[in-house]
Amino acid sequence: MKTEVQPQETNRAFAFEMWMTAPMPMVTLVKTMDVSHLLRLGRKNGIKFNTLMCWCIGKAASETEELHLLPENGKLYRYDQIAINVVVRNRKGGINSCDIPFTTDIQQFNRNYLELTTKVAEACQSSFLDGYMIVGTSAMIQTELDCIVNQYTDKFLNPMVMWGKYRKSWFRTLLPVSFQFHHVQMDGGDAARFLERLQRTIYAL
């Protein structure tokens, strides 16, 4: 469910005034994550690495106040539910989008992930959820990437978490993660804290 809120009644009042009409209000931060634990956990429990990443993103986002707010069409809205959007390769070789509702039950999230992405891949038709704060993701695992800067479009102002192929060494597996967000939604410090929260979530899973 989403509810319109008055910007001046939130801690985003100044940011709303400064950045709502800015021609380029998106900001990107990049942090290298230690994902060694996710890789081991995925192998042990038979859960895909990207599914675990998406769950951790949803968990960290659900605990980040700013990621429940989003500017849309000159207004500010608050969402009480989080969903993760993933890009799905369909059976015809094209791509579609799929929204997956976040739940703290990781096994249920995994079941939802598999069921919904399979339906989208077979139908070659995107699946979207209404009333959810959508956190976009994009995994380009064909190669190792240092940074990803997404296109800016006024059709999609939601935050995006993006990554490439993880990097294995003797003792750790590392993954540079790019996080793009709207400056009305959060400041750089808020975004940095979200990335720290994401790393702690990965460690704690």
Query: Could you tell me the domains of the chain?
Result: 2-204 (3.30.559.10)
Residue tagged 């791509």 (tokens) = 95
Please give the Cα distance from 11 to 33 (Å, whole number): 29
* Main-chain dihedrals φ then ψ at residue 71, nearest 5 degrees: -80, 135
Instruction: Read off the tokens for 135.
Output: 């956190």
pTM above 0.85, yes or no: yes
| Cβ count near 132 (within 10 Å) | 20
**Beta carbons of 185 and 27 less than 8 angstroms apart:** no
The model's pLDDT over 5-16, given as tens digits with 9 standing for 90+, comes to 999 999 999 999
pLDDT digits (tens, 9 = 90+) for 150-198: 887 777 899 999 999 999 988 899 999 999 999 999 999 999 999 999 9
b vs e for 51-69, b when ≥16 Cβ sit within 10 Å of the residue's Cβ?
bbbbbbbbbbbbebebbbb
pLDDT at 147: 94
Give the three-class secondary structure for 158.
coil
